[in-house]
Amino acid sequence: MSKIDQFDAVVIGAGISGMYQLHRLRGLGLSARVFETGDGVGGTWYWNRYPGARFDSESYSYGYSFSKEILDEWNWTEHFSPQPENERYLNFVADKLDLKKDIQFNSKVVAARYLDEQNLWEVEIEGGQRVRARFLITAIGILSAHQFPRIEGMDSFKGQSWHTARWPKEPVDLRGKRVGVIGTGATGVQVIQEVAKIAGQLTVFQLDPNWCSPLNNSAITEAEQTEIHAGYPAIFDACRKSFGGFVHDFDQRPFFEVPQAEREAFFERQYQGRGFGIWLGNFMDTLTDPRANAEISAFMAGKIRARVKDPKVAEMLIPKDHGFGTKRVPMETRYYEVYNQDNVTLVDLNATPIERITPQGIKIGDKEHALDYIIYATGFDAVTGAFKRIDIQGKGGTKLADKWKDGPETYLGMQVAGFPNLFMLVGPHNGATFCNIPRCIEQNVEWVSDCIAHMQKQDLQRIETTETAEAAWTNHVYETTQGLLFSGVRSWFVGSNTPGKKATFLVYAGGRPSYRQNCEAVVAKGYEGFVTSSSISFPESTDPIHLYR
């Protein structure tokens, strides 16, 4: 048998959360190994290298906040940084903290099995390598399990095609080419507005239009750079207090107590401002009151009609199945103007569905769209998808996929009953799933790290949530959606973008402050909802290494 290495902790994924978790585990004196499918760090910003990929959170609100040295040394060049810079930043952090020596790249985790008697997790890597660890920590992301549509003939296409989440590392020259993009979600919007600049002919295949809002990005000036560095404490304090962990927060004034002219002026200011202000800095009532939502939706529809010259095309781009803000709002830079270009055609798939992919392109009805490239901007099996792609088995061989077949059940979005010593960063029903993710990642990692430190201090070997606590938290998650308009809308928030996936709410909608307070209350009550154990009996053949230094 091949040697089975053993660590105190195994982390799956070397993105933002996995990197920080590794850093914190080292700080506790634990041995840790991170397994990463790709050949570099960065997670989302490693895989998503398509044209136009960039932050839609302000750059200075997105980076790590835990290290003043890193904050002082790194300068963001744009208010919303592009993918190449984001990947450079994460490599800068990894090198600064010397993380890569404990990360094994090109290593896809395919299975993880809890060994009851040994109280160890055995993790299997594609190719057969196995390792064991006391703690298993998933850092696999909520939008990492990319998915393709189910269209006949996809393998027959003679040109090149790929999903945006697997854009080639080598340069792709689309100049003068016939390009088709399937999908107009957040990713589709970003890639469409860039490809339209160079393609000979761009055909956009749209199933569901989305409400898109201007990003209003620009380079960061020297004066702004100085202001940002001086203002980091205030920036992160604002993120800590805001509902979604952004620099924007909702206006709590009752919508209809504000005069209509003042409301419209407010909408205009937010529309002309940066980033998510028009969505997450708007009146809170726009997400709870159908009448208020109808007003902001009418405002946004007017903007689309004003920016798109052809009235028929404009109407195709205006959503009819949901109001503004009830799905994730894509950020755009002259996206709507793309459809004024002679080299861009919009195809409404609701009116004329794709019949099949052919060797030459895409066939719809009696028309075949000849293409050189097909780009699938078709999204992800969100939140739970990456978990389903790993065979995770808890006590008694219980499969996580079976436990979650009717929807995820968790405690704090970080643990699952029957799966001891398994922690999930940004897991289902976690505060980080509906948040400026790095801000909530830091809270997750710090909570998990403090929990493990508590176990070290108390000489505890195992921690597991109870089914009662799990059920109570899951019910609470559903309660947070009550009164929110997006709870009844088809989106990845409920998994309805994935064929065959049961529609259940996947994110925590109570807001970052509420989530943090709940986590803190659990600790204050002696880790209420968890069962811990200090007595573990090891078979002689196990020969475990130290549990803690």
Q: Read out DSSP for 392-438?
A: EE-GGG-BHHHHTTTS---BTTTB-TT-TTEEETT-TT-GGGGS-HH
Which residue ranges in the chain fall short of pLDDT 70? 1-2, 535-549
- Both tokens of 510, joined, read 């109570």
Residue in the structure block whose two tokens are 């080292």: 26
CA distance 443 to 445: 6
**Whose CA is closest to 464, among 382, 371, 533, 383?**
533
Helical pair 83-96 and 16-27, crossing angle rounded to 10 deg: 10
pLDDT value, residue 185? 96
According to the model, what pLDDT value does residue 500 have? 84
CA–CA separation, 249 vs 242, rounded Å?
Answer: 5
Q: Where are the beta strands (DSSP E) in 129-198?
A: 130-138, 160-163, 178-182
Of 287, 269, 288, 245, the residue nearest 431 (C-alpha): 245
Cβ-contact 458, 532 below 8 angstroms: yes
Listed residue (218, 206, 220) closest to 338, CA to CA: 206
Give the pLDDT score at 535: 64
Q: Where are the alpha helices (DSSP H) in 459-502?
A: 467-480
Model confidence, pTM:
0.95
Closest to 378 measured CA to CA, from 153, 164, 140, 83: 164
Residues 6+ apart with CB under 8 A from 521: 528
In terms of Cα–Cα distance, which of 383, 492, 377, 379 is closest to 50? 377
Strand-pair category, 201-206 with 344-348: parallel
Please state, in angstroms and rounded to a whole number, the distance separating the CA atoms of residues 467 and 408. Answer: 13
Among 290, 251, 306, 291, which residue's Cα sits nearest to residue 273?
251
Residue 115: strand pairing partners: 120
Question: What are the structure tokens assigned to 529, written together?
Answer: 């909802």
Q: Which amino acid is at 274?
A: R
pLDDT at residue number 1? 40
The closest alpha carbon to 441, from 72, 74, 22, belongs to 22
Side-chain-side CA neighbours of 391 within 13 Å: the count stands at 9
